[in-house]
Chains A and B, each alone.
Chain A
Amino acid sequence: MSSLSYAAPTSVDDAVKLLAGASGLAKVLSGGTDLLVQLRSGRLKPDLIVDTKKIPGIIGIREENGGFVIGAATPGAVVEAHPGLNAAWPGLVEALDLIGSTQVQGRCSLAGNLCNASPAADSVPALYAAAATAVVVGSKGRREVPVEQSPTGPGRTSLAKDEFILEFRLPPRPAHSGDAYLRFIPRTEMDIAVVGCGISVTLDGKGIITAARVSLGAVSPTVILVPAAADALIGHTLDADTLAKLDAAAQAAAKPISDKRGTIEYRTKIAGVLARRTATIAYDRASGKTNGKAH
């Protein structure tokens, strides 16, 4: 541990070179709210920490071509304060707002949350539901990938050793769209999600759901998209029958483990409960009914 090095490169190229050239284990540092805990507990023993926060553009939010671009290391608190994101993507904002505490949100980042690849990460189901993409940079250049291609297992991603995420892109929002994120935790704050659910829907002028993305967290080795749950929504209004089918699809897709935060049986049931409640909020937002916080 006393041989741990630190570098804070000021360009993408320099960062990539450091990661590619590292002889031992190199870890990217954005917010540090996962990395520092893992360092302290001894779970991770890196040789080099590459702090990406000084790379231009990696912190900040801008609008581009009708969508949003969020720098990968932007602290959660900054995302949550952005009026445009709050209006267009309240679900993503509230998901990020749920990570840890106010203090954690002063530092945590979407990239860190995604690449730490906990199946219970709060912002990830909302990112999946939003159909966000990640701009990945590395020695092979730049590539843009759907976020759901990043996590491959608990603590594992598809990123190469010399790659990191530069920014996230959110697509333009059609009219009558709304998203929401809910999680279940035993207390009211501070817990890791027992189950998390992110849903985005788009409606036509008559309240019929024309597009939907449903994502569940903490019920599988990675956060998952649930196409069957989305299919249960598309073509319908959010009536009791649709909600029941959504519930069933969510439960069917859930393949959780039993651990200190929840049992298989309990998580499966809650996946159904949250899917219904999340869909209701997303639907209401898409209908223009409410834009307030879900909790």
Chain B
Amino acid sequence: MNYVDSSLKVVGTRPIRPDGVDKVTGRAVFAADTHAAGMLWGKMLRSPHSHAKIVSIDTSKAEALKGVFAVVTAADFPDIPSEEAFVGEGPMNFRDLALNCMARTKVLYEGHALAAVAASTQAIADEALALIDVKYEILPHVIDVEAAMAPDAPILHDDMFTAGVSPKPTKPSNIAKVVTFKKGDAEAAFKDADVIVEGVYTTQPVHQAYIEPHACMATYAPDGQVSIHSSSQGHFMVRAYTAKLLGINMSNIRVNPAEIGGGFGGKTLVYLEPIAVALSKKAGRTVKMQMTREDVFKASGPTSGAWMSVRIGAKKDGTIVAAKQVLKFQAGAFAGSPIGPGCMCGFAMYDLPNVDVVGYDVVSNRPKVAAYRAPGAPITSFAVESLMDELALNLGMDPLTLREKNAAKNGTKTHYGPTHVNIGYTAVLDAVKAHPHWKAPLKEGQGRGLATGFWFNIGGESTAQVHVNEDGSVTAATGSPDIGGSRASIGMMVAEVLGVPATTVRTIVADTASIGFTHLTGGSRVTFATGMAATQAAEKVVEDLKRRAAQTWDIPVEAVEWKDGAAYPAGSNAGAFEPLDLAALALKAGRTGGPILAEVSVNAQGAGAGFGAHICDVSVDKETGHVKIERYTAIQDVGKAIHPSYVEGQIQGGAAQGIGWALNEEYIYNAKGQMENAGFLDYRVPVASDVPMIEAVLVEVPNPRHPFGARGVGEVPIVPPMAAIANAIRSATGLRMPDLPMSPPKVRAAFDAAG
């Protein structure tokens, strides 16, 4: 069923989220809050070197220390073969994942784990780590993406031969693959351009910087049953990855989803769980592991840093005739940067006849890259949207008008293959034009920037259960960890279908043994796909309730209608029966067929793409280079805002992360390839005084493939901010900042260079 044109009573309102009271009272249980009798503390030994052979590891002294119950190294894990992961987010090879969790013959980055201990106290565990004697043979390292691509670069993997080139190379390389997307003939089309602009842009690796470090608690019982409490974006993923890395059956593992303190893509894989299980097996006790903040920065994936060149050719009237982009993304120690989406998303907002994009996935001696909110798109859009601004300036054209002129519409074929359907990009541009921010006068010394963004959003597999309890209250269970308020929105969709208030429905996240397979929480998929499954389950329950009412009244089921949480005879001919509400039907459930519930699994297709546009005003201190965000408006097509507060929250949060990425966040390395700012003191995320109120404007162009019209919303908002801010700085100062972050020394240097 489709509710897009219905008048809605619950969806679109703003009830208190069901997990809210637990969170404001400190009762909510995150993985690090779990505890078990006899629990041991697990800690990881990590490489101080950025690239080295492991010559030997001697754990004997650590094992002999009183209070140490287990020590593991790669020898305690199966040496698994190369295999593409069948679950998870982004490209992932199981062998790479296993080696990333526990190095075998080489360490590939500072922070790379190579051993772990379990001890009765944290202090003893730390002491044990210090007693592990590792002999390293230090190798030359390479950090920078272009240096890693050079022919004489130190090679990380002897068995890495660049994929996507012909003929197949015979010499190992740090370039894992090359991807290309072509539409039309850009080379030829550039000749027809009246104006050509080009630029080279660089970005640095940035971390998702969730406030909760990775944590888990694992128990390997004597009968081989494994129980894990984990803060992750996907407990089915945790189960699958742990099973694979340890060589045990998935059915022997039960993963309980603890509350998760932020993920943004960074918790879509495992670092600790397989190690904790292995330690637990050896020790015969429960083991808790949590990363320190330093470990989080050094050993869990940031997103790629990149080098990009872009070239755009246009007619005098602003029509773009050709576009070319070369992207070099560094993937960290193992292949798998988001080079694919990076190649796809930069031009996806535009209707371009001729496009040529080439992308390189390059390894280097840094932590393995993990997904970060619209992986690849913020990076590519920084380059493309900055250059679009230059094109507008060059043409003497309003940057909004330039976007309108080339906007993708329904039926536009992208350069990477799919055709846009049911999209809202022009609606978003219209909303920019109509917004008071766009026309507000700028104060002296201020500048304004505009940038737009895209993310394709995904659907995929989700399972949801709806059951009516004996008192008529409702429980909705899904397999989707809640990272953005999805328990609220799923409960609201179920309540809407059932015709009851939101408070009648309690939504829980069920563990891997209690619900059918559900793909992880990522790709902005939960409201779309899990919402779809939950809606369909609620609809099945409604059909069942109508059948039970029909049976009770002894009338045909076609003569029953469901309205406002109760069954009614449909019209006076059906009979003069009092309505039967959920409570009444639940009471009689045993006589009408037994328990009232439905479970639905979907492989949701038709996830609607998301588009956004951000307007940013800045002022710039010429002497210090400090950039202040004066005003920020983020406009986005959300399809249908199920719970508008949490949709706004996604937009504001993504914009704030983009502001940090634009101005101050970066990984800083010394000459030995060691990270110098592995903490919140010098890895500078925005604090409350760094940002103004962020106005989130919700445009609703319904996605007809979702029962309520919803699109994924979580990822689009991080795509425009960096270029919006760069364009605002350009507007305020005349200076183009092509390298992120646009930190004060760089801005001051740009002023000095301009004279």
| A interface residues (Cβ-Cβ under 8 A, vs B) | 1-2, 41, 184, 186-192, 194, 259-263, 265-266, 269-270, 273
Contact = CB atoms under 8 A, between A and B. Distances in A.
A113 B127 CA distance: 30
A260 B690 contact: no
B676 A260 contact: yes
30 contacts: A2-B123, A184-B626, A184-B744, A186-B626, A186-B663, A186-B684, A186-B743, A187-B664, A187-B686, A187-B687, A187-B689, A188-B690, A190-B681, A191-B681, A191-B682, A191-B684, A192-B681, A192-B682, A194-B744, A260-B677, A261-B682, A263-B745, A265-B749, A266-B745, A266-B748, A269-B748, A270-B623, A270-B624, A273-B623, A273-B624
Contacts of A266: 744-745, 748-749
B682 A260 contact: yes
Given A1-B123, A1-B126, A273-B623, A190 B745 contact: no
A266 B744 CA distance: 9
Interface string B666-693: 0010000000110001101011011000
A63 B599 CA distance: 75
Given A2-B123, A192-B681, A262 B745 contact: yes
Nearest to B746: A266
Contacts of A265: 749
B687 A188 contact: yes
Given A2-B127, A187-B686, A192-B682, 19 more contacts: A1-B123, A1-B127, A2-B124, A186-B626, A186-B663, A186-B743, A186-B744, A187-B690, A188-B689, A189-B690, A190-B681, A190-B687, A191-B684, A259-B676, A265-B749, A266-B744, A266-B745, A266-B748, A266-B749
Contact of B689 (A1, A2, A189): A189
A273 B689 CA distance: 23
Contacts of A192: 681-682
Contacts of A261: 682
A51 to B, nearest CB: 20
Q: Which 8 A-B pairs have the closest CB atoms?
A: A266-B745, A188-B689, A273-B623, A260-B676, A260-B668, A2-B123, A186-B664, A189-B689
Contacts of B663: 186
B213 to A, nearest CB: 14
Contacts of B127: 1-2
B745 A187 contact: no
The size class of the interface chain B forms with chain A is 20 to 34
Most chain A C-beta atoms within 10 Å of own C-beta, residue among B127, B623, B689, B749: B623
A191 B682 CA distance: 7
Interface string B437-451: 000000000000000
A216 to B, nearest CB: 15
A192 B294 CA distance: 18
Interface in B652-672: 663-664, 668
Most chain B C-beta atoms within 10 Å of own C-beta, residue among A187, A188, A259: A187
Interface in B122-143: 123-124, 126-127
Contacts of A194: 744
Contacts of A184: 624, 626, 744
Interface in B523-563: none
Contacts of B748: 266, 269
Contacts of B623: 269-270, 273
Nearest to A263: B745
Interface string B401-432: 00000000000000000000000000000000
A2 B687 CA distance: 35
Contacts of A263: 745
Interface string B198-225: 0000000000000000000000000000
A73 B681 CA distance: 24
Contacts of A2: 123-124, 127
Nearest to A190: B687
Nearest to B676: A260
Contacts of B745: 262-263, 266
Contacts of B624: 184, 270, 273
A261 B126 CA distance: 30
A285 to B, nearest CB: 22
Contacts of B626: 184, 186
A41 to B, nearest CB: 8
Nearest to A188: B689
A265 B752 CA distance: 11
Nearest to A42: B126
Most chain B C-beta atoms within 10 Å of own C-beta, residue among A184, A186, A263, A265: A186
